[in-house]
Amino acid sequence: MPVDDPVQHERFMRLFVEHEREVLRYVLAVVPHLPDARDIVQETAVALWRKMTEYDPTRPFLPWACRFASIEIRRFLRRAEQQRRLLDEQAVEVLLARQEERAASLMTRRAYLRECLEELPPPQRQLVRGYYWEEQDVDALASQTGRSTEAVYKALQRIRQALFECMNRKASLEGAST
């Protein structure tokens, strides 16, 4: 990918920034020392940037990025093993496999959450958006909606419960169909 292509650069940056925390969590499961994990994430970003033209935008970015992270983890551990003998290869493979499962599970849960949010009535969806995305406090939301602060707290609690139940329902339906 040409580095000077601003559209490709922006696309990559948006994808990577959106998933950087999950990639860091993935790395931290195997390399718990935060500075080392951050170095690995940085090397992962460089590798992803170099291979961005091979990314299929119809597929989820996080599993693709985690595959690169697993390569960088293995490189780091090979270097570190020579110095410190951190983990044996089997333990690393088990940890990486578990993290890949968790990453896939997280992607699925996020998809369920998006679907469930779309199913909420617009006033409830706006309340969630105001509280979680726009980070408005409950007093501001109460003022905007003409409700009491307590009513907003209770509404958010009911919405969270409804979203939780919706996501569980979707998960059990998918589990029954596979």
Q: What is the mean pLDDT of residues 109-133?
A: 93
Judge whether 51 and 6 are in contact, CB under 8 Å. no
Checking phi first, is residue 136 left (phi over 0); if not, alpha (psi -120 to 50) or beta?
A: beta
Q: What is the mean pLDDT of residues 132-142?
A: 90
> Which of 60, 176, 50, 57 lies closest to 111 in space, CA to CA?
60
Q: What is the mean pLDDT of residues 37-60?
A: 92
Q: What is the mean pLDDT of residues 57-70?
A: 92
Rounded to an integer, what distance in angstroms lies between the CA atom of residue 143 and that of residue 154? Answer: 15
Element (H, E) at 143: helix 138-145
Domains observed in the chain: 1-111 (1.10.1740), 120-178 (1.10.10)
Task: Please compute Rg for the chain using Cα positions.
Answer: 21
* pLDDT value at 127 more than 50: yes
Phi then psi for 51, rounded to 5 degrees? Answer: -105, 15
Average pLDDT over all residues of the chain:
87
What does the DSSP assignment read for 77-138? HHHHHHHH----HHHHHHHHHHHHHHHHHHHHHHHHHHHHHHHS-HHHHHHHIIIIIS---H
Residue indicated by tokens 């990577």:
16
Confidence of residue 98 (pLDDT cuts 50, 70, 90): confident
pLDDT at 178: 43
pTM greater than 0.85 (yes/no): no
pLDDT at 85: 55
Q: What is the mean pLDDT of residues 136-161?
A: 93
* pLDDT value at 92 more than 80: no
> Which of 95, 53, 49, 91 lies closest to 68 in space, CA to CA?
49
